[in-house]
């Protein structure tokens, strides 16, 4: 079963959120519609998908998420800019 680790941000690219899911398109739809209004992504409008990585198992995806959350902001920005230098919303590519 496929799984993804992903990073989202807000329109101003100020907030970064790292998440993990087994259905990236569905998860992004939840973020974009603010399905959970009290969640971090809803409160900070972090619904722009700027980076993702696919894995063959949810365990590997969770391990990657933990790495990202333990890392600093500069490392996350470097990852985003390697994949998506213009910080475009990658949702439409899913």
Q: Assign 12 a pLDDT band (cuts: 50, 70, 90).
A: very high
Q: Write the class of the CATH domain 3-93.
A: alpha beta
Label residue 24 by pLDDT band (50, 70, 90): very high
Give the residues across from 54 on adjacent strands.
4
- What residues does each domain of the chain span? 3-93
Query: In Å, what is the CA distance from 57 to each residue of 23, 28, 49, 68, 87?
Result: 12, 19, 21, 17, 27
pLDDT recorded at residue 19: 98
**Residue with the two structure tokens 């569905």:** 26
Which pLDDT belongs to residue 65?
A: 98
Tens of pLDDT, residue by residue over 26-79, are: 999 999 999 999 999 999 999 999 999 999 999 999 999 999 999 999 999 999
Task: Supply angle C-alpha 40, 92, 81, rounded to 5.
Answer: 70
């Amino acid at each position: 079963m496929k799984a993804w680790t992903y990073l989202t941000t807000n329109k101003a690219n100020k907030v970064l959120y790292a998440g993990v899911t087994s259905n990236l398109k569905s998860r992004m739809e939840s973020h974009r519609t603010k399905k959970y209004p009290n969640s971090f992504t809803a409160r900070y409008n972090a619904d722009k998908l700027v980076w993702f990585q696919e894995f063959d198992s949810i365990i590997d995806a969770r391990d990657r998420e933990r790495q990202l959350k333990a890392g600093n902001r500069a490392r996350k920005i470097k990852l985003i800019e390697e994949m998506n230098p213009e910080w475009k919303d990658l949702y439409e590519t899913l």
